[in-house]
Amino acid sequence: MTADTTTGTTTDGSAGQPPVPVSALPELKLAYRGDAMDLFLIALKNVFLTLVTLGIYTPWARTNRRRYMWRQVEIDQQRLDYTGTGKELFIGYLKLLGGYLIFFALPKLVGRFSKGLGGFLQIVGGIAIVIIIPYALYWSRRYLLGRTRWRGIRFGLVGDAGAFARTWIWGGFLTVVTLGLYGSIMANRVHGSLINNSRYGDARFSYDGRDRDAFRIAIRGMLLSVVTLGVYFFWYRARLLRFRLSHTRFDRAVGTIDVSGGLLFKLTLINLFGNALTLGLAFPWTVTYTFRTLLERVRFVGAIDFALISQQPQSGDAAGDTLAGALGVELGI
Amino acid sequence: MSDSWRGRYVDGRTAAVRDVALTAKDGALLGRVLDANVELFHWPRAALTFEIVEPGVVAIRSRDSPDASVTTVSSEALRQLRGAVPAAPRVGRRGRALMFGVGAVALAGTFYASLPPIARAVANHVPPAIEADLGQGLSALLATQYCETKAARTALLHLAVRLGASPQMELHILDSDADNAFTFPGGVVIVTRGLIDHAHGPDEVAGVLAHELEHVRLRHVTIRFVRGSLMTVLWQASVGDYTGMLAIDPKTAFDLANLRFSRDDERAADQGALERLAAAHVSSKGLQDFLERLPAKTGAAPAWLSSHPASAERLGHIRRAGAGATNPVQAALSAADWDVLKRGCVRTK
């Protein structure tokens, strides 16, 4: 960290002045300061209390883990805060249970009196599950961002979950029709939609990665992965990561990640073998190592005027997060 | 004015971070702009909360303005505000790891040990209509692979009824080369074409069928279903958040663990099958021959055995029962019915 991005002084590049060399631009560095043993202890405590309470502790367990992991993420020497609570997640689970009863138990119950109507409701429920996946993704992201605070200011996700769902469903349809060719464009649009609607306080992130560039990277990645019997896949993923970060902007800063295919290959091997050989017990160590390694390679280069960023109301409902968890479609953060 | 120390302050309204001078006065925490006498905040002691961000670094907040915070590394701050700062846990990290680890293992062990009776009790309260619904739903998934002729189904049903089954039960022949037979909840029994093709006589089919009917009577499938669900729910509740990071699929792990229960179930089903065969005057030699013959024929555990482990103990029990039998026996099926059954699968592929 070099230049002072914290005082709130605006550094306007006035006309006629020479452009600031890239090396002189302020940088926001990321880091993960977590300790694997601490995470292991939290996991043990969570498992213990979840068992004792026959599962009721689950929302508090999730919150404990998140609170710890968020706290270990450092951006520009300031840690993230997780402000979600176990109570709101518990209420989210109750809402999920209500939804479950409506979608699954009700058709069964109706089916006892009218097989036709029960069957119809089951079909409607099945279709609803497919449609609700992108909504769950969006709502979950909105909840998580709404509970993430940095420098006293909350993140958030604005925009319409419906528009995101349409991008997702239509993209999924086109991906099937084009035998997967459209997949990279769909992924780019979905990613773009999430980034463009993400905000920090009242300031928005933006993503300008073009579909055709994402498509070119994916086609090259897939072809070379086939030729190299899958080995190139890690280099493809690294390239995609670099592409996405380099097109992510916030204020006048742009993201960058210094990650290579070799590093992703190494991380995958460490995660795979570390967890397989210990039946998963080593996950606090593999997760900590992965987070440390990846986050310390992420930077945002360029000035950000923090004094002009102001607080916004908290957004998001925990039910969306529990729904995404139940559907197994969490995006993380 | 008392001693002051430095901290970094965010007001929760904008993202600016300010270096501030902090002082404690009458228990309250005051923050001033560094090198200027401009007060930024005055937080009463009663509203203060403390969080250790990392060793030596404390974040202080006021309940009245929860988004604002000040972080400080000053030991003076901790000294002056002592009492409100959370104390370091008395038990060390290793001690806590041991405590929670032993506790979690003990609880999981207790739960695992008490699972069979719990699952049995729950399964016994599942209404037969729901069991039948579930079984028919599962059976429908295989419907395109059922290949039995009407005559073959009737012959098989007669055999099942002779072995004590209800005439209303659902029976199918599955178009598969494997030597296999299995049941679904609610009394659906399925035998494969391979099992009938490879059988040396109707007594072998009768032995296997009697065994499967016992699984139905003892509701083993429903119990396994309930047990599996309980274990999955508990697993997800315990470590669900971490499963994405696990290399081994918990369900696979549980299926492996479930084999131990299966062996118990198999012993019970064997015993019941022997009783059914005796009551129907069918020799138990068929079941014995079938179990003995299969490993030698395939050189590896066949499908039926892989889910129905025939230990030496089980085989010994069946042999002893056969040797001690004094009941007069008749062939399980007439030659004509056996012929119908042998030709009873119209191949689907």
In tens, the pLDDT along B193-225 reads 999 999 999 999 999 999 999 988 888 888 888
pLDDT at residue B111 in the model:
77
pLDDT band at A250 (very low <50, low <70, confident <90, very high): very high
Predicted pLDDT at A294: 94
For chain B, the straight-line distance linking the first and the last C-alpha, in angstroms and rounded, comes to 94
| Tokens 């306080």, residue located | A201
The residue with greater pLDDT, A203 or B123, is A203
The per-residue pLDDT for A102 is: 81
Q: What is the number of other CB atoms lying within 10 angstroms of the CB of residue A34?
A: 22
Confidence of residue B246 (pLDDT cuts 50, 70, 90): very low
pLDDT at A145 over 70: yes
The residue of B18, B67, B91 whose CB has the most chain A CBs within 10 angstroms, and thus the best one to mutate to test that interface, is B67
pLDDT bucket at B252, cuts 50 / 70 / 90: very low
Q: Which residues of chain A does B108 touch, with a Cβ-Cβ cutoff of 8 Å?
A: 51
Q: What is the pLDDT of residue B299?
A: 44
Interface probe for B, chosen from A28, A48, A69, A285 (most Cβ of B below 10 Å), is A48
H-helix or E-strand spanning residue B339: helix B335-342
Compare CB distances from B238 to A50, A151, A283 and report the shortest one's residue.
A50
Q: Do A311 and B246 make contact, defined as CB atoms within 8 angstroms?
A: no
Q: Which of A14-28, A178-192, B16-30, B233-247 has the lowest mean pLDDT?
A: B233-247
Mean pLDDT over the full length of chain B: 80
Separation between Cα atoms, residue A283 and residue B246, nearest integer Å: 7
Cβ pair B241:A62 closer than 8 A: yes
If you measure CA to CA, which chain B residue comes closest to A8? B16
Length of chain B: 349
Residue B262 has pLDDT above 80, yes or no: no
The predicted pLDDT at position B235 comes to 65
Q: Which residues of B touch A38 (CB under 8 A)?
A: 93
What tokens were used for A25? 């631009």
Return the biggest CA–CA distance within chain B. Answer: 110
CB contact under 8 A, B15 and A38: no
pLDDT, tens digit (0-9, with 9 covering 90-100), for B289-336: 888 876 554 444 444 554 555 567 778 888 888 777 777 778 888 999
Beta bridge partners of A256: A299
> B337 or B237: which carries more pLDDT confidence?
B337
Residues 261-290 of A with CB under 8 A from B: 271-272, 275-276, 279-280, 283, 286-287
B250-279 helix and B202-217 helix, angle to the nearest 10 degrees: 120
Half-sphere exposure of A47 (CA within 13 A, CB side): 24
A159 is written with which tokens?
A: 């925009």
Q: Please give the pLDDT value at position B186.
A: 83
Identify which has the larger pLDDT, B308 or A38.
A38
pLDDT band at B230 (very low <50, low <70, confident <90, very high): confident
Higher pLDDT, B94 or A332: B94
Question: Is the pLDDT reported for residue B248 higher than 90?
Answer: no
Query: How far, in Å, CA of B66 to CA of A311, rounded?
Result: 12
What pLDDT, on the 0 to 100 scale, is given for residue B86? 53
Pick the more confident residue, B249 or B118.
B118
Question: Which of B94, B71, B236 shows the shortest CA–CA distance to A38?
Answer: B94
- The most confident of the ranges B103-117, B162-176, B235-249 is B162-176
Contact between B43 and B69 (Cβ < 8 Å): no
Statement: residue A141 has pLDDT above 60: yes
Tell me if chain B has a CB within 8 Å of the CB of A119: no
Residue A10 touches partner B, C-beta closer than 8 Å: no
Q: Which residues pair with A301 in a beta bridge?
A: A27, A254
- Across A133-159, average pLDDT: 92
Is there a contact between A55 and B234 if contact means CB atoms under 8 Å apart? yes
- What would the mean pLDDT of A96-116 be, rounded to a whole number? 81
Q: Give the Cα separation of B65 and A300 in Å (integer).
A: 30
- A15 has a pLDDT exceeding 70: no
- CB B242 to CB A8 under 8 A? no
What percentage of chain A exceeds 90 in pLDDT? 57
Is residue A148 over pLDDT 90? yes
Least-confidence region, from A2-6, A146-150, A281-285, B229-233 = A2-6
Give the C-alpha separation, A120 to A107, whole Å: 8
For B:83-142, CB contacts with A below 8 A are: 93, 96-97, 100-101, 103-104, 107-108, 111
Average confidence score pLDDT of chain A: 86
What is the least distance, in Å, from the CA of A269 to any CA of chain B?
Answer: 11
Neighbour count for residue B67 (Cβ, 10 Å):
18
The pLDDT score that the predictor gives to residue B171 is 92
Q: Taking CB atoms and an 8 Å limit, are A41 and B97 in contact across chains?
A: yes
> What pLDDT, on a 0 to 100 scale, did the predictor assign at position A23?
61
Which residues touch B112 (CB under 8 Å, ≥6 apart)? none
Three-state SS for B78-100 is HHHCCCCCCCCCCCCHHHHHHHH
Separation between Cα atoms, residue B210 and residue B278, nearest integer Å: 10
The yes-or-no verdict on residue B259 having pLDDT over 70 is no
* Average pLDDT for B87-110: 74
pLDDT at B234 (0 to 100): 66
Residue A170 corresponds to which amino acid?
Answer: W
What is the pLDDT, as a whole number, of residue B297? 47
**Separation in Å, CA of B104 to nearest CA in chain A:** 4
- Comparing CA positions, the residue from A208, A211, A214, A185 lying closest to residue A196 is A208
A306 contacts chain B (CB < 8 A): yes
Strand order in the sheet with B28-33: B39-43, B28-33, B18-25, B4-10, B65-72, B57-62, B48-54
Residue B179, pLDDT > 70, answer yes
How far, CA to CA in Å, does A135 sit from each of A131, A186, B240, B316? 8, 16, 21, 59
Minimum-distance CB partner of A51 among B68, B101, B104 = B104
10 Å Cβ neighbour count for A55? 17
pLDDT at residue B348, as a whole number: 60
All residues at 6 or more sequence positions from A73 whose CB lies less than 8 Å from its CB, including other chains: A30, A31, A32, A33, A79, A80, A291, A295
How would you label B7-30 residue by residue, b for 16+ Cβ within 10 Å and e otherwise? bbbbbbebbbbbebbbbbeeebbb
For residue A32, the cross-strand partners are: A73
**Number of neighbours of residue A31 by Cβ within 10 angstroms:** 18
